[in-house]
Structure 1
Amino acid sequence: MSDLSFRHLNLDWNAEPNAPDVELTVEGDTVQLIFLLNPWAYDAGMGEKGTLRFVGCSRWRWDSTNDHAWFAGEGLYSKHAPEWGEFYEVIGDSRPVGDDDWEVLSPDGPKSRQFLFYFRDDTIELFAEDWVFSRSRG
């Protein structure tokens, strides 16, 4: 993982840091994450939700790595990712990916990109062609 880099994608929003109440749904090759937004550090109202839609998703996994494990060096990218609690595109990850670790929807395609979101108590990683973020009032 020597050529590994992380593109920070959530520059003006983030998940609620204490209890983001993450929901994941799958419909065809679209994976959707819905979570509470952080109203204390960003322009979001109390109870406002963020939705990340990953289109052309080929695989995803929900890992129980939390902030304590990450800071203790136990998370997959704990020695590489710039910060905990952020949403990244992972570039240059050459580790083998076993199907038993993932919910596989289809084979990875030539346009597949790797995404990673560190929530307080969970880590969600996906391979998808693209992503879209939207907001809604709770």
Structure 2
Amino acid sequence: MHEPKGRLTDIFNLTTDGSGQPQSVLMLDQLTHVPEVGDVLQVSDRNLSIAQVDRQRMRSCLTGWPLVGLGSIAVLVNAPTEELKPLARYPNRLWVTWKPKADLPWHFKTVDLPKFTRLNEDWNAHPNDVGLRLEKSGDELIARMKPNPYAYRQYDNVPEIAVRFVNCSKYRVTPVNDEGWYSGQCRFSRLAPEWGEFYEISGNTQDNMNFTHWIKMEGVGAKHFHFYLKDETLEIKAQDWVLISES
């Protein structure tokens, strides 16, 4: 079984609470899972029970800056800051793990993990576009959307882009949005590198974990393409894809 982990980036002190216990805040990023109150954090040789979790997480919707894992959160532990502070000074940051109270998601319990290849290296859909438009003909599916000119300036004057999938066997649009992804509603939450990207996913894609109906087409392509959009997620089984910019 894989352990959840995160990277310790900073530790600072809070005023002692009414019980007289010391309070330290640990900043964690590059999370593979979001810890809960009561989970036991393993920091170097210390086991620290988490007393509080700040769920504010940083995102990168407009800037295009990379968001690794689930962003950055703060956890509160009842331990003296002066004893913990040196742990945040490791040259390459210190990776920490924790023992959750609740069951972990499926991907922590298997070695047969899917692999994600990001396909949109120099383009993306507009972060606020809710108008995904699909056209299908025979074994071809075209997904039309507005481009993101904030992160990719070459699309400043391009009103629409289209992704054409060839030899498409089936597709579906699921209701998983960004909030659902961050809260663990997607089967690839905490597993896909980032929200809001376009991936080819190889290996076991666990399609039966989402109950959205597939729409069949005339092709036989079997590659799994996965596009996280603002209010939905597009999943396609096809042979290949190509990007079309329309002026």
Question: Under a length normalisation based on structure 1, what TM-score does the superposition of the two structures give?
Answer: 0.88
Output the aligned Cα RMSD: 2.1
Runs of 4+ more than 3 Å apart: 96-100
Match of 2:216 among 76, 100, 104: 104
User: Cα–Cα, structure 1 residues 96 and 52, in superposed 2: closer, same or farther, change >3 Å?
Assistant: closer
Q: Which has the higher contact order (CA 8 A, sep 6+)?
A: 1
**Greater mean alpha carbon deviation, residues 118-127 or residues 96-105:** 96-105
The alignment's TM-score, normalised by the length of structure 2, stands at 0.51
Sequence identity (%): 36
Q: Contact 1:60–1:103 (CA<8 Å) still a contact in 2?
A: yes
Shift of 1:76: 2.3
Alpha-carbon separation, structure 2, partners of 1:28 and 1:99: 25
Instruction: Select which of 81, 86, 99 maps to 2:197.
Output: 86
Matches within 5 A, 1:1-138: 2-42=112-152, 43-46=154-157, 48-95=159-206, 97=208, 101-106=213-218, 109=220, 111-137=221-247
- SS of residue paired to 2:155: coil
Aligned mates of 1:67, 1:94 — CA distance in 2: 19
Q: Which residue identity does 1:89 align to in structure 2?
A: E
Check conservation: 2:167, 2:218, Cα contact below 8 A.
no
Tell me whether 77-86 or 52-61 shows the greater mean CA deviation: 77-86
Structure 1 runs not aligned, ≥5 long: none
Q: Is the 8 A contact 1:19 1:120 kept in 2?
A: yes
| Structure-2 change in CA distance of 1:11 and 1:100 (3 Å) | closer
Structure 1 contact 20–37 (Cα < 8 Å) conserved? no
- The CA distance in 2 between the partners of 1:94 and 1:40, in whole Å, is 31
Distance 2:186 2:204 in 1: 15
- Cα shift readout 1:58-83 (whole Å, capped 9, x = no counterpart): 01000111000100011121121110
Give the Å deviation of 1:119: 0.3
* 1:5-56 residue CA offsets vs partner (Å, 9 max, x unmatched): 1000000000000125210111111010000000111021245211100000
Distance 2:232 2:206 in 1: 21
